[in-house]
Every structure is written in C-alpha cells, then in structure tokens.
Structure 1
Amino acid sequence: MDDLKFGTRNKRGDWTPHATVQPAPIWQMPPQLKAVLHWLPHYFLPWNVIFAASAVAYWAWVIPPVEVLRSIQIGWVLWLYAVNAVCVFLFYGAFELHLYVLRRQGSRFKYNAKFPSEQKSKAFWFESQVIDSMLRSFLSGVTIWTGLEALMLWAYANGYAPWLSFADNPWTLALVALAVPIIHEVHFFLVHRLIHTPFLYKWVHSVHHNSVNPSPWSSLAMHPVEHLLYFGTAFYHLILPSNPIIMIYQMNFAGFGAIPGHVGFDKIEVGDDRLVDSHAYAHYLHHKYFEVNYGDALIPLDKWFGTWHDGSPEGEARMQARYRKRKEKLAARKAQLDAKGATE
C-alpha cells in the first residue's frame, strides 16, 4: 500500500501524516453534528469494544466466585496474574511480531523509520529496548496491575466498593461504562503532568521516556511508581456507582489500551486494502518532544493548558515559542540572582 497518499517521508525515512491530530469533535463550538456522527463509531471501534469485551470474558471465565474473592488468597491472585501475563504476551506480542519482527508492512506508516532492534543503548537493560521493556512489563507492570485488580475485587466482594447490578441499574452502569475512556483520559493527564515534574521525571518517568522511538513493548515499560499511579485509575470505582466488570474494563483499558499510543505506526495494514488507524500520533509526538500532548486528545486538556501539538508547523511554532519563553524566564531569574549575589 502506498503510504505517501496519506503522508510524507523525509530524507531520514521518517513518515508524517498529512492530517493533523484533532481532539474529539464533541468539543467543537458551535457543535458540528455531522462530524460527531462520523466520529462516534471510532469512540467504540475497534479498541474500546475489544477492551470492554475482554472485561466480560474475564468475569465469565477468569474471576473466581464472590465467596472466594472475600479473602486475598495466593492461588486466585497468581491465577489472575497468569491470565493477565498471557493476555499481555499475546496482545502485545501480536503487534510486535507483525510490525517489528516480521515487518510485514516494512516502514510504511512508521513515524520513525528506524527499528528499536537496530538501536542499542546503555539506557536499557542488556542495551536492548525490547528486552528492557518486556522485563519491566512483566516484573512490575503486570504485577502491580494484578495486585490492584485483586484488591478492587476483594473490596467489591466485601462491600467496600459500590456494586450495582446490571439488571437493576442498566442505564446508570451504561453511563459509567461509556465514561471509562474519559476517566482514563483525565487520570492519565493528571498523573502524566505530575510525573513530568523535575524530581519525579528524573527518578520515575525517565524510564518510560528512554523509548524515544516507542514500539509495542514500550507501552508498559515504566518505573514501578509510575505503574502504581497509572493503574490507580481503578480506584475511581471505589467512589463511582459501578460494577466489578466495569472496573475490570477500566483496568484492561489501561493495560491493553497503552498499545495504540506506542505502536509506532499511524495505520496498521489488514490485508491488501484495509487500514486500521492506531491514533498513535499525538502520543508519538509526546515521546519525540517530551513536553507536549500529556493526554490523548479525547478531551482537549492539552489545548486548555497550552501544551498541545497537533503535528502541524503551527503546533511546532507554538511549542518553540513556549520553550523560548521558559528559557527567557530562567535566564532572567539567573541574572537577578547573580545581581543579588554581586551586591552582597
């Protein structure tokens, strides 16, 4: 497939889409009904439906009976860890195998033309981004994911979290389920801004940003503190009138939903003539520039807080202007301190 119909490629081989990143059209004023109706299926398909269906499957075939959940037992917690680990291996591994090992679509639609396996770095364990990312995903990521999930299931089973039944509260739970991506977006933005503060960035978030050229296994390549904060999205369901299935959906949305933003390709080729949008460009720009796009554009939080980069020359200019303004402020502060020191 000719990716140059959809974007451009520079001399290094890096690919950039023609279309800029846009927040969901529900925020446009005045409202654009046609745009909203065109966007609405993308709110569900394909990712949100997959993650929601996985939660139903977990509840039906993985989660033990409620009487078992009333006490934390190593047996069922290890079983839950094993299922999470296998699902991560299969889901993440499918993208890695298709795009990065077999390279079935080459570098078509790939933002950064280089592949991580070609770039050894001492920033990673064994100087390998893939090995480092996989180890962090399973040793810390899936462990903390499972631990918090088990804690929440225990809370539901013991009445510490509001558990509504689908039979008695279908509309309330439908609204909560629809809000899962919104909850994730707000939580992710707030946590992301927090861990970009200098101290937490240096000791925590820099681990994730070692993957400047992200690939599927980069998705959960985090410091344990970041894993704890990231999967803390489950705790909203201690307050919300919810259901354990929706809580699992929230966890799976975080655990499996990190893939689209880190896949490194704008579109995934399915067959000879079908493309699936990854919606990865906004987060790829964050990995490239570090201080833009702390959210994923479902809600225009970055626009509201002045950190938006849509991939356009205008977005680049806004980012550079913000950098210059910050440098000028730091230089002025340094000059002021130097002048004060000279007079003392």
Structure 2
Amino acid sequence: MKSLAITIDSVRKTYGTYIALDDVSLDIKAGEFLTLLGPSGSGKTTLLMALAGFVRPDSGKLLLGDQDITRLAPNKRDIGIVFQNYALFPHMNVLANVEYPLVLRKAPRAEVRKRAFEALARVKLEDLSERNIAALSGGQRQRVALARAIVFEPRVMLMDEPLSALDKNLRETMQYEIRRLHDDLGITTIYVTHDQREALIMSDRIVVMNSGRIQQIDTPQRIYNHPSTRFVAEFMGEANIIAPGLVRRIDGVDASPEALMIRAESFHLDAKLAGRDGVALEGTLRAKAFRGENWLLTLVLDGGQEVLVCIPAALASGCAELATGQSMTAFASAAKVHAIPGART
C-alpha cells in the first residue's frame, strides 16, 4: 500500500457572509499523521470534508499526489473515512459492514471475504465477525469503522473526531490503537479533533486553526513549547502570558522587553530547581486547589495580573500549608520561558 502526499492550495470556502476557510494552504507528507486542531468553528472539519469531497471549495486546489481532486466525486478519491458517529449499517453484522466498500467496488466474492477478515484481524475483532452492530460496545464499533475504512487499502485516511463519543479511559486506549494502526499501514492520515492532549499524543505534526485560518503548523513539541501566537499558546494548555517588567531573572535583572509565555507546570517554589539562569515572579496567593497529581495555585502579580502555577504533588509538600493572601515567589528555568513578540497581556 503506497501512501500519497496531499497539497492544499489557497482553498477558500464561504457560506453567505461566513468565511469557513480563508485562503488555506498546506502540504501534507506521504505517510504522515497530521492533526487539524482547533475550537468549534475554526474550519478544521470543513477542510476535512473538502478533502473527502463532501464540501466543494469556492476557490483553490486540492491535490492527491499529482492528481487534482478538487471537483472529483467522493467515491473516486481512494480515501478512507472514519466519521464521528461511525456511520455503520445497523441492519448488517460486523463482517458485512466491513465487506461493504469492497462489494461496492465489485471485488470478487472470495477476495471480499478474505480482505474483510484481514481488516478485522488488524483491529482485533475477527472473533466478532457475526455479531450485530447493536450488540457492540462503543470501542468495538469504533474498531469496526476503522476496519471498514482500511479494507479497500486507501492511500489516505480522514478521521473526523472519531473518539469523541467514548469515555476517557477507552478514548486514551484507542488513541494508541489508531496510531499503531497508522504506523503498521503507513497510510497518510488527517485527523480532526478539538482535544489538545489527543493531538499531542497522536500526531507527527499539528495544524492549529482558528476562524478559518491556520495559526501554526509544527511538531507537537514545538506547538506546545514554542507557540507562535497568543491564541496557540493559550489554546494548547495552561499558558501564562506575562507583561514585560513583571518577570525578572533570579539575579534581579529584567528578563525580557517582550511578553513572555510560561506554562503553569513549568514553575517551581524552590529557586534551586530553576537554576542560575531562571526567572522569578513575585506576588500574592489568591487561591489554591488540590488536583490529585498536582496543586494549582493562583498568584496575583503587581498590577493585578493572575498567573497559574501548577506544582507536581511530589514537589508540593508545603502547598497544603500555604495561606491565601500571603506573599510568595514562583520560579521557572529559562528554557521554559518563551517570548511571543507582539502578544498583548
């Protein structure tokens, strides 16, 4: 099975005065697992549906390898799709659901049965081939949808929030299962989610979208640690954007003339853990909350800005005794401080 690269070239889509996609361009590598991440209305699902052929762009091009698929019918695109609601046929059993794409393509009956069982084996459901869809758990239905999507050996896989209906533990298990399946098959995969943690765990690269535009394209590590905009910084986790002059190096010198991002979990209450080149923030404790694996402290700086400080339980022996209203200092190593030019606090 040979995967394909995808080129999205200046794609625009509007619905009346609403701009769903605003001149979006993106190159996706063959065999890559790329996630489209953003809040509701960001354009991520519209872009996925344009690739699937269910939404026609107003302008721009979509290329699958060297083939222009912008106006090609969905069933001619050689693309596997896993929908949010799985879209399984309730009147068919598991095996018949998985066989269906091959039946549509008029494959020989013996080949249909063989490839369907191979696909079920990949998702560890070969023993449930005769079971009715209604008798399956949510996780099992998800696996059937995956098997149906890969059975005809597509060169591209599109996945639209496929885990959103599952409970937390099953969702986390399926994240690793989908990534394992991707690595085994090498299919170019575009995955849509609004869940930041899911995107970080599963992706080779993440595309953060907002208001129909791409905000940043990068690896999970760089998206999280080196966001290019305030929106990306705050969307990806508990980010503090701190005004110039409020952050000082541990030696007392101003740290930066620009706004700085420091994630909540980057702080320590012990200056030694931040190192000689670390930074310090002084303020007043407004609130604290025990969250099991950590303590979340709200620190108010001079001028009233609030800063979230997350201390791991293993390093938080004194947090329970902290009293609101007391003065305190939080420290972070220089490697965890990221300047965001032009960011406003």
User: In which range does the TM-score fall when normalised by the shorter chain?
Assistant: under 0.3
Name the one with the larger helix percent: 1
Please, what TM-score do these two structures have when normalized by structure 2?
Answer: 0.19
Larger RCO of the pair (alpha carbons < 8 Å, separation 6+): 1
Name the one with the larger strand percent: 2
